[in-house]
Amino acid sequence: MPTMRLVIARCSVDYAGRLTAHLPSAPRLILVKADGSVSVHADDRAYKPLNWMSPPCTLKEGDGSVWTVINKAGEKLIITMEEVLHDSSHELGIDPGLIKDGVEAHLQELLADRIETLGDGYTLIRREYPTAIGPVDILCRDADGATVAVEIKRRGEIDGVEQLTRYLELLNRDPHLAPVRGVFAAQEIKPQARVLATDRGMHCVVLDYEALRGIEDDKLKLF
């Protein structure tokens, strides 16, 4: 399995390509990632490297004191080592990715759990209702028993309205569900999206994530 290599060394760095750049000798962190990229970091700037070479590129270590990194365009990053303080490699494995608090999946879960947020008398049919072009976030019924399709976004923009429009076209072909109307729900709805949604007969709902979480917390209390 490809590994991540971490080298801490006193070194100088020269870049030769569309322009030239030079980093004078200083202690630095050099990362050689499993994707082949090489980046040189100082103890500041947060995540941003001082210089780097994106993949695909090749690393040649010469006699051990000079690294030459070359990309497919022929650009070179030359790292001259004066003193290596640390050199280790680690297998990080497959990263599960960033899970953000408040993403659409969690909004969907919260809203489905408290579907009456959309109005008195609403009842849930199911989350992730399948269609030929993908699942509808929430399918439910209003107080009158009419079917409602809900599309949930963190930020409601025109593409979200278009997506809900396509779902409604398919759902309204099903005689067991029709007529189906749409609700476009988001933490923030852009003015253009609101105008388009309203023009197409959809209801817009702004979701207060903190309030939904508060409702969730209250539900767990026994007294």
Looking up residue 67, the CATH number of its domain turns out to be 2.70.180.20
Contact (Cβ atoms closer than 8 angstroms) between residue 25 and residue 11: yes
Mean pLDDT to the nearest integer, 184-202: 95
**Residue linked to tokens 């309203």:** 198
Q: Does any domain span residue 125?
A: yes
12 and 83 co-located in one domain: yes
pLDDT of 9: 96
Q: Does any domain span residue 145?
A: yes
Sheet holding 66-71, edge to edge: 51-53, 38-41, 20-32, 4-16, 76-90, 66-71, 57-60
Domain boundary (65, 90, 115) is at 90
Angle at the Cα of 185 from the Cα atoms of 181 and 191, rounded to 5 degrees: 100
Q: Please tell me the distance from the alpha carbon of residue 34 to that of residue 6, in angstroms, as a whole number.
A: 11
42 and 127 co-located in one domain: no
Contact (Cβ atoms closer than 8 angstroms) between residue 182 and residue 162: no
Q: In this predicted structure, which of 2-6, 43-47, 191-195 has the lowest mean pLDDT? A: 43-47
Q: Does any domain span residue 36?
A: yes
The CATH number assigned to the domain holding 144 equals 3.40.1350.10
Q: Is the predicted pLDDT of residue 59 greater than 90, yes or no?
A: yes
Mean pLDDT for the chain overall: 89
3-state helix, strand, coil in the chain (%, to 5): 20, 45, 35
Domain boundary (90, 123, 143) is at 90
- Indicate the number of domains in the chain: 2
pLDDT of 223: 37
121 and 178 co-located in one domain: yes
123 and 148 co-located in one domain: yes
165 and 205 co-located in one domain: yes
126 and 186 co-located in one domain: yes
107 and 206 co-located in one domain: yes
Q: Does any domain span residue 197?
A: yes
Q: Does any domain span residue 96?
A: no
209 and 125 co-located in one domain: yes
pLDDT of 216: 47
pLDDT in tens, 81-137: 999 999 999 998 877 665 554 577 888 899 999 999 999 999 999 999 999 999 999
109 and 71 co-located in one domain: no
Domain boundary (61, 90, 119) is at 90
Q: Does any domain span residue 220?
A: no
Helix, strand or coil, per DSSP, at residue 213:
helix
- pLDDT-based confidence at residue 218 (cuts at 50, 70, 90): very low
Is the link from the previous residue into 191 a cis peptide, with omega within 30 of 0? no
Question: What is the domain extent for residue 32?
Answer: 4-90
DSSP E strands, 121-189: 123-129, 136-141, 147-156, 180-189
178 and 76 co-located in one domain: no
Q: Please tell me the distance from the alpha carbon of residue 198 to that of residue 194, in angstroms, as a whole number.
A: 6
48 and 112 co-located in one domain: no
48 and 114 co-located in one domain: no
